[in-house]
């Protein structure tokens, strides 16, 4: 059972991932692969309900930069937790490409990565396994709170130490 941890809350996920060979459901929000988007671009663009796209860790968001406004969700895959490309892709989406929808992490998403994901701009994490909702939320709070500070600027998280230091000095 996969759960969605969005902005720190465990919620039921309204979105359906549609694998390449599978038929698209008639309605409801769907997340499709890059390959399907490229092949069925016209019919997908006409869907009434929400559309999301799923990128493999080797697929750069550059590939969809002109279509971003069409997606309510961009799901970035972690095939293994040690494959860290999606951290850079999340930042690219939010920082450089100005994407304003939901960026979510899918795949091998572990508690010890929640904080880095959050700081790199992920809004939502799909979490496999049967850990109860309240435990997941507690994990989230613990993971984010383990380190009170952060040295470097990122998209989210504590104000960088650098800035805090010099704010204190200026005051």
Partner 1 sequence: MYRYDEFDHAMVKDRVEQFRGQIARRMAGDLTEEQFRPLRLQNGLYLQLHAYMLRVAIPYGQLNAVQMRKLAHIARTYDKGYGHFTTRQNIQYNWPKLSQVADILDELASVEMHAIQTSGNCIRNTTADQYAGVTADEIEDPRIYAEIIRQWSTFHPEFTFLPRKFKIAVSGAVGADRAAVRFHDIGLFIVKNDAGEVGFEVWVGGGLGRTPMIGKKIRGFVAKADLLAYLEAVLRVYNMLGRRDNMYKARVKILVHETGTEEFTRLVEKEFEDTQGGALDLPAEEIDRIAAYFQPPAYEALSDDPPALTARRFEDKDFNNWVRVNVARHKAAGYAIANISLKPVGVPPGDVTADQMDAVADIAETFSLGGIRVTHEQNLVLPDVRQDQLYDLWLALREQGLADANLDHIGDIICCPGLDYCSLANARSIPIAERISQRFADLERQYDIGELRLKISGCINACGHHHVGHIGILGVDRKDQEYYQITLGGAPGEDAAIGTKVGAAFSAAEIVDAVETVVNTYLAIRQPKERFIDTFRRVGDAPFKESLYDKAA
Q: Which residues bind partner 1 (CB under 8 A)?
A: 57, 60, 81-85, 87-89, 91, 95-96, 110, 112, 115-117, 119-120, 146-154, 157, 160-162, 164-166, 169
Residue with smaller CB distance to partner 1, 31 or 117: 117
Give min distance, CB of 3 to partner 1, in A. Answer: 17
- C-alpha dist (Å) from residue 40 to 24, 43, 135: 11, 6, 40
The rounded distance, in Å, linking the Cα atoms of 84 and 16 is 24
Q: Any bridge partners for residue 75, and if so which?
A: 54, 104
Shortest spacing between CB 90 and partner 1, in angstroms = 8
Min. distance of Cβ 146 from partner 1 in angstroms?
4
Determine which helix (DSSP H) or strand (DSSP E) holds 164, and give its type and residue range. Answer: helix 161-170
CA 113 to chain centre: 12
Residue 117 Cβ vs partner 1, minimum distance, rounded to whole Å: 8
Cα 81 from chain centroid (whole Å):
14
Q: Which is nearer to partner 1, 13 or 83 (CB)?
A: 83
């Amino acid at each position: 059972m996969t759960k969605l941890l969005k902005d720190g809350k465990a919620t039921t996920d309204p979105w359906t991932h549609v694998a390449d060979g599978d038929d698209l459901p008639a309605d409801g929000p769907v997340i499709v692969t890059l390959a399907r988007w490229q092949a069925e671009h016209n019919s997908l663009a006409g869907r009434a309900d929400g559309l999301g796209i799923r990128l493999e860790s080797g697929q750069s968001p550059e590939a969809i930069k002109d279509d971003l406004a069409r997606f309510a969700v961009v799901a970035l895959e972690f095939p293994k937790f040690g494959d860290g490309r999606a951290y850079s892709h999340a930042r690219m989406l939010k920082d450089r490409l100005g994407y304003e929808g939901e960026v979510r992490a899918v795949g091998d998403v572990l508690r010890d990565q929640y904080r880095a994901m959050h700081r790199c701009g992920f809004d939502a994490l799909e979490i496999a396994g049967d850990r109860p909702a309240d435990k997941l939320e507690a994990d989230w709070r613990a993971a984010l709170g383990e380190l009170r500070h952060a040295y470097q600027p990122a998209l989210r998280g504590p104000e960088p130490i650098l800035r805090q230091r010099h704010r204190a000095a200026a005051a």
